[in-house]
Amino acid sequence: MKQSDRSAQSKEKLIDTALELFSLKGYTGTTVKDIAKEAGVTDGLIYHYFSSKEELLHAVLAKHNFLEDVQHILQFHDELPVDQTLYRLGKRLLELMVNKSSFVILVFGEAQRNEMMAGKLEKLINEGVVALSRFLEKRAQNGEIKQIDQQSLSRHFIGSLFIYFMTYGKSRTEIEHKLYLETTIQALCEGIKTS
């Protein structure tokens, strides 16, 4: 294996280890020594890749956020009706929340205690809201849905998914997730569709 590949693997392992520890112990409760010990490396190696614990946190946020998935789904499903696209988006977001539950726990937990994290969370959610709003606005312009405040609608949809996940999502089955999504999207679309 090339040195550059080993280096990339080491950096990824540090990011993933930091995510797990930050979600378990909190950002302020986790030390660089904790991360190094859990990853099986020296403190110095962490500082080789990251100038500070905060820079490592930024790397965790960059690697594990869901924004690319949201943008991809909304960009490449123009041929589907709005309800089917929303279902695909909701299903993917719930899958990501389940598979990356440590990330969700970290971000939402730390946002309550850490002003910087609260700002990062707001920025991530706002970028998702903007992407979904643009998609919905296109659908409103072509007459598929009503001309309403698409940003508020997007916030409602994304927010309801996160609340559902934080309250019930980790303990529910795929069938229960499917029923939740279908019911939510049906009710939403009945209110916004033009026909």
Average pLDDT, the chain: 90
Whether 179 shows a pLDDT value over 80: the answer reads: yes
pTM of the model: 0.83
**pLDDT for the residue 186:** 94
> Residues of 60-76 as b/e, b for ≥16 C-beta within 10 angstroms?
bbeebbbeeebbebbee
**pLDDT for the residue 16:** 95
**CATH 1.10.10.60 occupies which residues in the chain?**
3-60
- Residue 86 DSSP class: H
* Count of CB atoms situated within 10 Å of the CB of 99: 9
Give the domain 65-192 fold. Tetracycline Repressor; domain 2 (1.10.357)
pLDDT band, very low/low/confident/very high, at 37 (cuts 50, 70, 90):
very high
* Count of CB atoms situated within 10 Å of the CB of 36: 18
Model confidence pLDDT, tens digit, residues 137-156: 999 999 999 999 999 999 99
**pLDDT for the residue 72:** 84
Whether 51 shows a pLDDT value over 80: the answer reads: yes
**pLDDT for the residue 86:** 94
**CATH 1.10.357.10 occupies which residues in the chain?**
65-192
Whether 38 shows a pLDDT value over 90: the answer reads: yes
Mean pLDDT to the nearest integer, 23-33: 92
Model confidence pLDDT, tens digit, residues 77-133: 677 899 999 999 999 999 889 888 899 989 988 898 889 889 988 988 999 999 999
CA angle 164, 182, 150 (to 5 degrees): 75
pLDDT band, very low/low/confident/very high, at 69 (cuts 50, 70, 90):
confident
Distance CA 177, CA 169 (A): 7
Say yes or no: domain 3-60 is CATH 3.30.70.20.
no
Whether 169 shows a pLDDT value over 80: the answer reads: no
